[in-house]
């Protein structure tokens, strides 16, 4: 059809379509606040999350799509929780950011009743932001007063819901009191809902609860989201008030089920020994495909209740896959990769192609202690014995450091780290000063190319530890970074007094005379 034959009706249709698209792609659900409207805007809402950002900030750019997605979800929350942003580089934004002590980007703060309430310390991805902010509004447990509201809450849930069912509102009732106390304690991580059968008499007749027999109030139920339903475990678990477990313990034990969906936000929920299966886990866009593989993991997990099992998105945990020496699946339909950690933190990877049978054998060998742990390591330098500063790698760490008959000062560094490069000359000088000392050694390790033992906690570079030969454990070095600072520290801390230096780090007289 040529342009001259386009009808008015067609033009209207195209215009409407473009308008619809613009609503979808615009980030208009995030309130863009300036100095003139900041206080009045946040004062209109009970709770507001505000992002203070700079347009050039890389972290802010990465947060933007997650923040916008969360804003859309929370806009429809009951009650709504607005998300706002302030450009700290704009003329008016500078004053606002200064008033609230913003020193880095992005900084997120929670405002309640128009006043600053607290720093935002939650996740930085959409689902995590939504969950965290929902926990900040209203009571710790949401009351539902109709059967339809209960059904809606259960059907729309993305995470497990802990449901309290009570005969009537009686705050002195033991189970209700325990439930509300637990809800208040766990409100930032768990979704709590409660009801009273005096107003919702047929609540326990829902088909979701049909698998439980003789169910009656008062009771507490953990209901897993429908996308996680499977034939290997019940989708609804009832808390036994007669047992010794608290409601808190009941939730922790049952929340993730046999095979949990492990993300960056809930990673700490999963304790070792842990088996993780990595693939294109996506319960939003591809729940059917996600459960295709998860069901196969469940088939194995049901036989090993003493282990923790999880599925994780291979892109979110790409760095972790590298730590296992594993390659990520190439596409959505590719077979998953499998990594595991035992109770001591040692790492293992499934070398065979994933199948129920290969996973079963892998888990069996893991529990029987038959697997060879994977260790990321460079090769041991051939000239290490004669080096002033010795090099530790994954393969020789125990022999060189933890099993050594010498005290050790060890630096964990990264090749790209500017502070490490600045430290290098002082560390080399220290090595020369102590090269003839029989009781101590100076060691360095590239912590990006080698596995660091769990007893040495390294969160940044350089990180320096003192490890005495009595095996009493590592002690973090917090002193100066010049060679003389290190020497004085070692002279004082060494198990035996140094041959060439006194306890203050001064050269001994015999050494001075020889010079």
Catalytic amino acids? 57, 60, 417, 420
Q: How many CB atoms lie within 10 A of CB 27?
A: 15
HEC sequence for 190-258: CEEEEEECCCCCCHHHCHHHCCCCCCCCCEEEEECCHHHCCCCCCCEEECCCCCCCCHHHHHHHHCCCC
Query: At 351, is the secondary structure helix, strand, or coil?
Result: coil
Q: Quote the DSSP letter at residue 507.
A: B
Q: How many whole angstroms from its chain centre is CA 390? A: 35
d(CA 6, CA 2): 7
Query: At 184, is the secondary structure helix, strand, or coil?
Result: helix
What is each CA distance from 415 to 238, 419, 421, 446, 482, in whole angstroms?
A: 53, 10, 8, 7, 19
Q: Structure tokens of 19?
A: 């308008």
d(CA 127, CA 313): 14
What is each CA distance from 25 to 22, 113, 434, in whole angstroms?
A: 5, 30, 64
CB 49 within 8 A of CB 81: yes
Query: At 103, is the secondary structure helix, strand, or coil?
Result: coil
d(CA 146, CA 90): 48
d(CA 187, CA 179): 11
Phi then psi dihedrals of residue 211, to 5 deg: -70, -15
DSSP calls for 25-44: H--TTEEEE-TTTHHHHHHT
Q: Quote the DSSP letter at residue 373.
A: P
CB 152 within 8 A of CB 141: no
The set of residues, in sequence order, having a beta carbon less than 8 Å from that of 509 and lying 6+ positions away, is none
d(CA 121, CA 105): 14
Query: Checking DSSP bridges between strand 407-413 and strand 440-446, what pairing results, if any?
Result: parallel
50 bridge partner residues: 84, 109
Nearest residue to 434 (alpha-carbon basis) of 500, 381, 489, 511: 500
Phi then psi dihedrals of residue 16, to 5 deg: -65, -40
């Amino acid at each position: 059809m040529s342009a001259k034959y386009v009808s008015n009706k067609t033009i209207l249709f195209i215009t409407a379509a473009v308008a619809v698209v613009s609503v979808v792609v615009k980030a208009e659900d995030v309130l863009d606040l300036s100095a003139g409207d900041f206080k009045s805007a946040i004062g209109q809402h009970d709770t507001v999350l505000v992002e203070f950002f700079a347009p050039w900030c890389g972290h802010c750019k990465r947060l933007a799509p997650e923040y916008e997605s969360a804003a859309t979800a929370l806009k429809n929350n009951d009650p709504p929780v607005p998300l706002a942003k302030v450009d700290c580089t704009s003329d008016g934004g500078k004053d606002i950011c200064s008033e609230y002590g913003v020193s880095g980007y992005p900084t997120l703060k929670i405002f309640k009743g128009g006043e600053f309430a607290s720093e935002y310390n939650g996740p930085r991805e959409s689902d995590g932001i939504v969950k965290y902010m929902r926990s900040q509004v209203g009571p710790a447990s949401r009351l539902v007063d109709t059967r339809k509201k209960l059904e809606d809450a259960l059907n729309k849930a993305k995470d497990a819901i802990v449901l309290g069912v009570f005969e009537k509102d009686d705050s002195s009732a033991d189970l209700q009191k325990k439930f509300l106390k637990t809800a208040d304690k766990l409100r930032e991580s768990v979704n709590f809902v409660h009801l009273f059968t005096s107003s919702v008499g047929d609540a326990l007749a829902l088909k979701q609860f049909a698998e439980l027999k003789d169910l009656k109030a008062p009771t507490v139920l953990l209901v897993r989201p429908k996308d996680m339903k499977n034939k290997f475990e019940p989708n609804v678990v009832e808390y036994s008030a007669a047992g010794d477990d608290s409601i808190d313990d009941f939730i922790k034990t049952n929340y993730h089920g046999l095979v949990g969906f492990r993300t960056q936000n809930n990673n700490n929920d999963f304790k070792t020994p842990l088996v993780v299966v990595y693939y294109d886990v996506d319960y939003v866009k591809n729940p059917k495909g996600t459960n295709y593989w998860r069901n196969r993991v469940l088939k194995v997990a049901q036989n090993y209740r003493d282990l923790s099992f999880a599925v994780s998105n291979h892109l979110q945990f790409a760095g972790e896959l590298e730590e296992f020496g594993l390659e990520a699946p190439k596409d959505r339909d590719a077979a998953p990769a499998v990594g595991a950690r035992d109770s001591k933190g040692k790492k293992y990877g499934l070398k065979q192609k994933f199948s129920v049978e290969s996973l079963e054998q892998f888990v069996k060998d893991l529990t029987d202690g038959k697997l060879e742990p994977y260790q990321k390591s460079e090769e041991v330098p051939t000239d290490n014995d004669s080096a002033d500063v010795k090099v530790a790698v994954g393969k020789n760490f125990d022999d060189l450091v933890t099993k050594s008959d010498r005290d050790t000062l060890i630096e964990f560094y990264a090749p790209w780290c500017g502070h490490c490069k600045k430290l290098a000359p002082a560390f080399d000088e220290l090595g020369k000063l102590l090269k003839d000392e029989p009781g101590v050694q100076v060691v360095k390790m590239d912590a990006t190319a080698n596995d660091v033992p769990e007893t040495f906690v390294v969160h940044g570079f350089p990180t320096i530890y003192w490890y005495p030969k009595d095996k009493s454990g590592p002690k973090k070095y917090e002193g100066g970074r010049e060679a003389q600072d290190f020497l004085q520290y070692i002279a004082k801390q060494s198990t035996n007094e140094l041959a060439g230096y006194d306890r203050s780090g001064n050269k001994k007289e015999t050494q001075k005379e020889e010079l």
